[in-house]
Structure 1
C-alpha cells in the first residue's frame, strides 16, 4: 500500500553534517516515489495530544530507516532499514 513515511536525511558541507526528518512517499513496491521539497519538516497538530501523537509516529518511523543524504533521493530508490529493523 502506497503511503507517506518519515525518513532521517542529512546534508553536509565542509564544516558539518546536519540530520533532519524528511517526509517521503513509497509506492506499492516500497520504492521512493516522492518527498518533501525541503529536507526538514516539523511535527504539528491541532492540539497538544495531536502534536504528541505526530512526534511519536515520526520517532518510531525514523527509527526504522537508515539515514540518506537528502541530495541522493531519487525516484525509484529503495530505502534501507536500520540494522535493528532488518531482521
Structure 2
C-alpha cells in the first residue's frame, strides 16, 4: 500500500553531517515515488495526542530505515532497512 513515511536524512553542513527528518512517499512496490522539498520537517498534530502519535511514527520509521543523504534520493529507489529493524518497529 502506497503511503508517506518519515526518513532520516543528512546534508553536509560546515564539514560535517547534519541529520533531520523528511517525508518520503513509497509506491505499492515500496519504492520511493516522492519526498518533501525540505530535508527538515517538524512533527505536528491538531492535538497533543496527534503530536505524540506523529513523534512516535517518526521514531518508528527512524529505527526502521537507514539514514540517507538527502541529495541522493531518487524516484524508484528502494530504501535500505536497518539490520535490526522489524516491521512493527
**TM-score band w.r.t. shorter chain:** over 0.9
Runs of 4+ in 1 over 3 A off after TM superposition: none
| Alignment of 1:52 onto 2:52 | yes
Matches within 5 A, 1:2-81: 2-81=2-81
* 1: CA distance, partners of 2:61 / 2:15: 29
* 1: CA distance, partners of 2:40 / 2:14: 20
List gaps (5 residues or longer) in structure 2: none
* 2: CA distance, partners of 1:8 / 1:45: 20
| TM-score for both structures, normalised by structure 1 | 0.93
* 2: CA distance, partners of 1:44 / 1:11: 23
RMSD: 1.2
**What is the number of residues matched between the two proteins?**
86
| TM-score for both structures, normalised by structure 2 | 0.91
| Deviation at residue 59 of structure 1 after TM alignment | 0.6
List gaps (5 residues or longer) in structure 1: none
| Deviation at residue 15 of structure 1 after TM alignment | 2.2
